Structures are given as structure tokens and as C-alpha cells.
Amino acid sequence: MESSSISKYNRISASKARLVANEIKGYSFPEAVDILKAIPRKASKLILKVLYSAGANAKYHNPEILDRDLYIKKVCVDEGPTIKRFKARARGRASRIRKRTSTITVVLSNES
């Protein structure tokens, strides 16, 4: 049985979030939580939130499942829409600032 969770429009670039997401692929649910709590990056808090949500979804669909039986089948970090802003520069010019967003998807499974 699989359960998943998606978080959209996270204010972090996808490349920065992928660095953290690649660290937890294939681990069991409790091990991944411990790893994410030890990583001092913004992306770890965002991915941890999605991971807890996927675990809660798994518990909802199958109440007798244990946390240690779940493992991370897939962690996907995709690019979201980019927020575009302008910043004043010298001599009356303006330069574009791109504020990147990302979409984080976590899929948990209990089948090996």
C-alpha cells in the first residue's frame, strides 16, 4: 500500500531542496525523520512536514500499520511557479529578481 503527500508553492528553490531530499531516499520512516532533524537547512523542515503528512495519510488508510514498516519509495522535488519582482538599479534601470518556488512530493510504501 502506498500513501503520498504533496506540498506546493514552497519558497525555496528546487535545487536547494533536492540536496536534502536525495539524502533520505530509500530509508525507513523513523530513520528519515532522524536524518531530517539533524540537517540544519530550511529544506529539511519543509520535507519533514511533508513526510509527517504522508505518514499520517498511511495511518488513516490502514490504522494497524506501524511506522517502522513504512519506507520512502519516492521523494520528488519539482519546480513551481516563479514569482517575478523588480529591483531599482543605477541610472534609472531595473533588474529582475526571480523568487523560485518548489513542489515537494513524498511517497511512502510498506511493500519491499
What per-residue confidence (pLDDT) applies to 106? 97
Domains and CATH numbers, the chain: 2-109 (3.90.470.10)
Identify the pLDDT of residue 78: 97
Q: Which residues pair with 74 in a beta bridge?
A: 107
What's residue 112's pLDDT?
Answer: 60
pLDDT in tens, 33-88: 999 999 999 999 999 999 999 999 999 999 999 999 999 999 999 999 999 999 99
Res 111: pLDDT: 79
Rounded to whole angstroms, the Cα distance separating 41 from 24 reads: 14
What's the whole-number average pLDDT of the chain?
95
Phi, psi of 50 (to 5 degrees): -70, -35
Region 10-30: mean pLDDT is 96
What is d(CA 44, CA 10) in angstroms, rounded to the nearest whole number?
A: 12
What is the C-alpha radius of gyration for the chain, rounded to an integer number of angstroms?
Answer: 17
CB atoms near residue 12 (< 10 Å): 20
